[in-house]
Amino acid sequence: MRLSASPYGYSSQQGGGSSIRLILGVVIAIISIISYVASRSVNPVTGENQYLSLTPDQEIALGLQSAPEMIQEFGGLSTDQNAQNTVDNIGMNIVNKSVAHTTPWQFNYNVLADQQTVNAFALPGGQVFITEALLSQLTTQDEIAGVLSHETIHVLARHSAQQIASSDLTNGLIGAVGVASGDANTAQTAAVIGQLIGLKYSRDDETQADTLGVCLMIASGYNPQGMVEVMQVLQTASGGSSQPEFLETHPNPANRITQIQNAIQNAPSNCGSYRG
């Protein structure tokens, strides 16, 4: 009698398949964790240990490759040359007069034509954008510098690369769970957990972009109170019929004002290394 024809033989094959899946799952998880831990490096700007899966050149390339699609999504670049010149001058002043100019990042500041979406963002490697809708809410160079300094810190602190590395680890562990259990629902649960972890990191990143952004503003000669004023502008805008897009990806401005004011008070002892 062939083993495959026996109920016991069939059961044995099922058990063997489960064991193989479990082994594969463990191997994938171990490889993901080892790769993540091995990517550790110290960020010279923030002084923090980071786990990064991209080199600076890869970050720059990723940002440059992503920029055209992002520009298209927001209606193209602004045709308001005065607005573009203002943003470009303030952005490059922040870079040239702060620690940013000692880094490999290729900073480029642009105004997007979108007059409805109140937002600003930075791509990996130095591509920074602000929409006409947000720019129209700002009345001083200090306020514009507050937004641009915040986004510049995202680049300098390599927040995008850190999120990508974290995502790579999470995806590897999700794959391991799925392979080991053979249960898609389990993998989906792991994905939700990964997203919650990512949200926490994102909030930490935003806080860091605010507090260190204060240092960039001071280094480049802008009044850091401008960043507080930006938060007040956004807080007022959030009371309307629709919430600004900026607030969907950034913490509540009311909570951030206190943190920024604390950063301004502590600047004399914390911001010395951020001058160019």
Q: Residue 127: what pLDDT?
A: 93
* Count of CA atoms in the C-beta half-sphere (13 A) of 79: 1
End-to-end alpha carbon distance in the chain: 82
pTM: 0.73
Q: How far is CA 203 from CA 12, 41, 145, 196, 256, in A?
A: 49, 21, 21, 11, 11
- 4: pLDDT confidence band, cut at 50, 70 and 90? very low
β-strand partners of 40: 51
**Structure tokens belonging to residue 261:** 């004011």
> Is 50 part of any domain?
yes
Residues 25 and 18: beta-carbon distance below 8 Å: no
Residue 110 resides in a domain = yes
pLDDT at residue 274 is higher than 50? yes
More confident position, 181 or 210? 210
- When pLDDT is averaged across residues 232-258 and rounded to a whole number, the result is 66
Say what the pLDDT of residue 192 is.
Answer: 41
Q: Which domain holds residue 115?
A: 17-274
Average pLDDT over residues 109-135: 93
- As a whole number of angstroms, the distance between CA 67 and CA 35 comes to 28
**101 belongs to a structural domain:** yes
Task: Give the residue, 14 or 18, on which the prediction is more confident.
Answer: 18
Mode of pairing for the β-strands spanning 40-42 and 108-112: unpaired
Q: Which residues contact 174 (CB under 8 A, 6 or more apart)?
A: 187, 190, 191, 194
Number of domains in the chain: 1
Counting residues of the chain whose pLDDT is more than 90, the rounded percentage is: 39
Residue 8 lies in a domain: no
Cα 91 to Cα 78: distance, rounded to the nearest angstrom: 16
Among candidates 167, 166, 188, 168, which has minimal Cα distance to 177?
188
Q: Which residues pair with 108 in a beta bridge?
A: 127
Element (H, E) at 90: helix 81-96
Query: Does 11 reside within a domain?
Result: no
State the Cα–Cα distance between residues 75 and 131, nearest whole angstrom: 10
Find the mean pLDDT for residues 17-42: 61
- Angle at the Cα of 152 from the Cα atoms of 274 and 267, rounded to 5 degrees: 35
More confidently predicted of 13 and 104: 104
Residue 188 vs residue 151, higher pLDDT? 151
pLDDT band at 177 (very low <50, low <70, confident <90, very high): very low
Least confident of 2-6, 39-43, 66-70, 140-144: 2-6
How does the average pLDDT of the chain come out, rounded?
77
